[in-house]
Amino acid sequence: MVGKHSKVKKSKPLLGNHQKCWIWGRNAVRETLSAGFWKIWELYLSEKLPAEEIAELETRAAQLSVPVIVTTDKTLTQKSRAGDHQGMIAKMAPFPYAAAEEVLAQNTDTPLYLILDRIQDPYNFGAIIRSAEILGADAIFIGSQEQCDVTSLVCRTSAGAVNHIALAQVPDLVAFCQQLKADNINVLGTAMQAEETLVDYAFQQPTALIVGNEGTGVHLELIAACSHLIRIPQQGQTESLNVAVSAGILLYEASRQRGFQ
């Protein structure tokens, strides 16, 4: 019996990058299944879905050796702890981060990389991934400390872009930036006090662009490791832009200069 002052614990959706991570929702599940990049351990479909849609998803799942269970909406909600599953949930393996050295070895002579310094909000992380993939970044590098992992929420916010751009974790972002500079890749930091604006920098060069933490921006040690600093011009009274918005603006300028159509 629940007492007068007792609090009933509400189950939270299983978002984390562990053995109980689930993604759900038509777009996220279908995109992940179609891409075949992030390993799905089990696919659960609502018995209320159209028969032809179930058959289509079963065919694709069979190609990837993914078990399919057709069951009730109640079971889907219980397993994922999410009510907005739209009749599809998938139990996921840990996200397959790329190896940084392999990413660096595979890319072009004039790469455009994005480095994320301690991005902690999954909505920001997902939105940045989405912009980076759409606007032609070659890869995203993140640190291993104080950084949001790729979770179901990040996947949903990215509109499935996590399946289409290389994401690599590095243990030391400062050392990684020094390595990039040794490989003749400009490390471009963002700072409000920078003299140059984003249009002053020639993005046709090999470039690794850093955007920083939602509250504190790019860490001072990373600022010191940069070869260039730029800022986004501002006119209003608000102190700064949201980090996902800033990343989108910077990536768009990079793509514009590189002939993005």
pLDDT of 193 = 86
**pLDDT over threshold 70, residue 17:** no
- The rounded Cα 181 to chain-centroid distance in angstroms is 24
Tokens of 225: 């490791």
pLDDT tens-place string over residues 92-105: 999 999 999 999 99
pLDDT tens-place string over residues 113-130: 999 999 999 999 999 999
pLDDT confidence band for 4 (50 / 70 / 90): very low
pLDDT of 261 = 54
Candidate from 19-28, 41-50, 139-148, 191-200 with smallest mean pLDDT: 19-28
Interatomic CA distance for residues 165 and 107, integer angstroms: 12
pLDDT of 203 = 97
**pLDDT over threshold 60, residue 14:** no
Higher pLDDT, 104 or 12: 104
pLDDT confidence band for 82 (50 / 70 / 90): confident
pTM: 0.88
pLDDT of 20 = 60
Interatomic CA distance for residues 250 and 119, integer angstroms: 16
Higher pLDDT, 260 or 177: 177
The closest alpha carbon to 129, from 101, 98, 162, belongs to: 162
What are the phi and psi torsion angles at 63 (to 5°)?
A: -65, -25
Interatomic CA distance for residues 184 and 241, integer angstroms: 30
Report the chain's mean pLDDT, rounded to a whole number.
90
Candidate from 31-35, 40-44, 192-196 with smallest mean pLDDT: 192-196
Mean pLDDT for 31-60 is: 97
Q: What percent of the chain has pLDDT over 90?
A: 78
Mean pLDDT for 76-92 is: 93
The closest alpha carbon to 38, from 149, 173, 142, belongs to: 149
**pLDDT over threshold 50, residue 11:** no
Tokens of 70: 């057709």
Q: What percent of the chain has pLDDT over 70?
A: 92
pLDDT of 142 = 97
Report the interhelical angle of 243-257 vs 122-134 (nearest 10°): 10
**pLDDT over threshold 50, residue 18:** no
Tokens of 26: 């038509």
**pLDDT over threshold 90, residue 244:** yes
The three-class DSSP label of residue 48 is coil
149, 95 Cβ separation under 8 angstroms: yes
Query: Side by side, which strands form the sheet with 68-71?
Result: 22-24, 88-92, 40-46, 68-71
Q: Which domains does the chain have, with CATH numbers?
A: 22-92 (3.30.1330.30), 100-257 (3.40.1280.10)
